[in-house]
Amino acid sequence: MVKNKLKEIRMKEYMMNSSEFCKVLGISISTYSKIESNKQQGNIETVLKISKALNRKVEDIWYLID
């Protein structure tokens, strides 16, 4: 299963609510909410867009758990 650290990054480093953070990332609130809550993984384009916007490697945001 793939999980992410988006909420942790948003809360600790950016101190923004999710709608403000979506504007930084350039994605819709509905897409972001699904990705942050791990209900949807996001397509590769969205994942790369988020990583680029946060200036992080994909593996710094998403991780695999057994």
Instruction: Specify the CATH number for the domain of residue 49.
Output: 1.10.260.40
Instruction: Count CB-CB contacts under 10 A for residue 37.
Output: 11
pLDDT in tens, 3-46: 999 999 999 999 999 999 999 999 999 999 999 999 998 899 99
Residue whose tokens read 């994909």: 58
What range does the domain containing 51 cover? Answer: 2-64
Dihedral over alpha carbons 44, 21, 8, 56 (to 10 degrees):
50
Query: Whole-model pTM?
Result: 0.88
Residue whose tokens read 């990583």: 51
Domain count, the chain: 1
Q: What's CA 61's distance to the chain center, in Å?
A: 7
Distance between CA 41 and CA 4 in Å, rounded? 9
Tell me, what's the pLDDT at 41? 87
